Structure 1
């Protein structure tokens, strides 16, 4: 506090040149809000001091050790629920509260109940309409990305307003929500805006998926109509919207989309009236009578494969050996497209059983053209390209917009008084 005024500091922690572990801290002398809480790279079991030293964990020793915090009030707030932006919580020694958007918290609870993820030993709470953390207030706004329940965040110390887009796209099924928070951010005359610059992360020879959800569904419909063999699809359960829309599209075109029981239970939690079909072999209790789902077996699918689309997760890849060959759509499911061991295993299994592999993914992030619109519409005084391997490329591409660009750097601090 200077001359009776609050001085607020914005500090970039991990992920200043990455799309994992992107964490920013906004604090006054007594109050702190930490936005997102992932680790650099993938989860790695090691000593906390080693992980802090190697910057795999963010430089927040008071949260990961018994060291006391200087902040009287503090909280972690997530832009969305996903293990990649929460896995640092595995090492928490503090009782700090973690606030998650309502749909994100419900998704977490449902995934845990169905053994699709492991529970975290941390305080996860629903983000209220307006959260007050000492000198700071936080408000979330529904947005659109490839994770269910994503939100942007508006953080204020009173005289200063700071915006964080979170993962965002402008061509998705909930684009109207994006337009709403863009207008709110514009009216607030933001001091600082951190925007999702993921599309500035890849070379021209390795571009982010250009297909949007609408085009993906159209391509899916074309395949359903044209193919006469079995269709298998590997989906990301965090993208509940996509699962639901493809289920509806398949059923509309007279193909039954068969889900694994755990996936079906997650979908049912959010869409209770949707009629779903479950694979018999995926059921936890195969003898129990189900009143919620129609049950279809691998034998049924084998007899008339052209009538089905089978959702198949990597953990159940062995089911394919019991089925006739067909088309395999890898739709942002696990394993991620890379040269890692799991992905090599997947491709080997598909080759062995003569399945045709198609990368069938769509991005949850705004493309380069839409980012120009996004940044220009918000019109913050200062703007930071965030969630990018090459934030400098974003600045170079849109440098003529009426805002001052700030390149994020590890431990860099911006002061507002």
Structure 2
């Protein structure tokens, strides 16, 4: 590294995968890490929920499987037993190290529970608020002992040595998502995290871009999930860079988040029996949309307890019932229910399968994949199963076929009503062109090479290489 530059950047994972982005930026002895999750690839993931996690060897197994990268100075020595070539965390040498999490999807935060308590983990205020509740309902991360720190409001930066990190809110399909603006004495970096314009808060992404232009962005590290456009089954279809024109508009066939209640309601109005919806609990705004869809269709939304708890504690939405499975009923009756479940039960009107079956056409019932067998207790005749970005996400997941086969065995029609959390390729090109950095680094994509810069240079980094920030470029 030349004497004129003390800033180094290294890419540890997430370059040609969906998620799993881990990047380090270091200036002298100050180092930041963003994000810290695992790539989303259910077809190749041996940890499929059936293979048992070895809690005492969790980090060892994650690194051996390639789920998490072997970042130097980020793990305790005892966690690295049996692994070589990774320098363990040293309280003096790594005293000025911090991790920053852009949002709370597993592909961006899975590994934060394995970081030593001495290393601060920062996230937006809303993300920390959401994480505390996810942890209570069992949707946190394994091994977590951290009291995660909220980044200051008012666009105030966090300082790690000579590095400044500012959180800039963006529109995504989870509360608390943000981009990071990073400043070192050698230049500026903007990391977008995951983002879009077609959600409920497009103004957040617009404001992020304007602020990035104001603060400067020598390097733009941008997610590229949708650079390989999906077909109707969610499978990638390659495009050429020449085909990609910048546009702020949403392409034909894409769905906006504000339109979701009406689109789902139309499906419900066409059904004569019980309506079911598979949507993720941590997509809190989608839960609110499903309650509104039920209202528009003359039905009442019924949510699983975990989702109901998030709605009670994160929103003003109260227009729903809570589904009481046999397991929930037994826990409550025996006085063994966790505190969050007891509070949810007290605040809510509960309804069980027998209650739903008295008049199935009155309800829209949430049914996540893990609770699929609850359908065996329900009268699903004349009903519909709406898939709204719940797990499994699409045909690239081996369990997707199992879901469809199960629904077919019940004679239950399937309808996908989805809204992506990621900007389409044209919007990504628009963002890149508007910011127009000297160096553009697309990642978080199967085809990052498709996103070309307007006037700067494109860098497709390689693993195992250290880059220096100098003169607005990574060298």
TM-score by length of structure 2 reads 0.79
| Residue correspondence of structure 1 range 240-259 to structure 2 within 5 A | 240-259=284-303
> In 2, are the aligned partners of 1:330 and 1:358 still within 8 Å (CA)?
yes
How many aligned residue pairs are there? 412
From 151, 157, 162, the counterpart of 2:184:
157
Aligned-pair distance for 1:273? 5.3
Q: What is the alpha-carbon distance in structure 2 between the residues aligned to residue 415 and residue 340 of structure 1?
A: 38
Q: What is the alpha-carbon distance in structure 2 between the residues aligned to residue 8 and residue 279 of structure 1?
A: 53
Q: Determine if the alignment matches structure 1 residue 385 to structure 2 residue 409.
A: no
Distance 1:52 1:146, change over 3 A: same
The unaligned stretches of length 5 or more in structure 2 are: 48-52, 78-87, 238-252, 335-341, 471-475
Aligned-pair distance for 1:30? 0.9
Q: Determine if the alignment matches structure 1 residue 413 to structure 2 residue 466.
A: yes
Greater Cα shift, 286-295 or 170-179: 286-295
Question: Counterpart of 1:285?
Answer: 332
From 106, 124, 127, the counterpart of 2:151:
127
The secondary structure found in structure 2 opposite 1:166 is coil
Question: Counterpart of 2:172?
Answer: 145
From 176, 195, 201, the counterpart of 1:174:
201
Aligned-pair distance for 1:10? 1.6
| Residue correspondence of structure 1 range 13-412 to structure 2 within 5 A | 13-40=12-39, 42=45, 44=47, 52=63, 55-66=66-77, 67-69=88-90, 70-93=93-116, 95-117=118-140, 120-123=143-146, 124-129=148-153, 130-158=157-185, 160-201=187-228, 206-207=235-236, 210-272=254-316, 274-281=318-325, 282=328, 284-285=331-332, 290-325=345-380, 326-338=383-395, 340=397, 342-395=399-452, 399=453, 401-412=454-465
TM-score by length of structure 1 reads 0.89
The secondary structure found in structure 2 opposite 1:86 is helix
Superposed CA RMSD in Å reads: 2.7
The secondary structure found in structure 2 opposite 1:414 is strand
> In 1, are the aligned partners of 2:274 and 2:363 still within 8 Å (CA)?
yes
> In 2, are the aligned partners of 1:43 and 1:87 still within 8 Å (CA)?
no
Q: What is the alpha-carbon distance in structure 2 between the residues aligned to residue 53 and residue 223 of structure 1?
A: 45
Aligned-pair distance for 1:170? 1.2
Distance 1:338 1:122, change over 3 A: farther
Aligned-pair distance for 1:52? 4.1
Aligned-pair distance for 1:53? 6.0
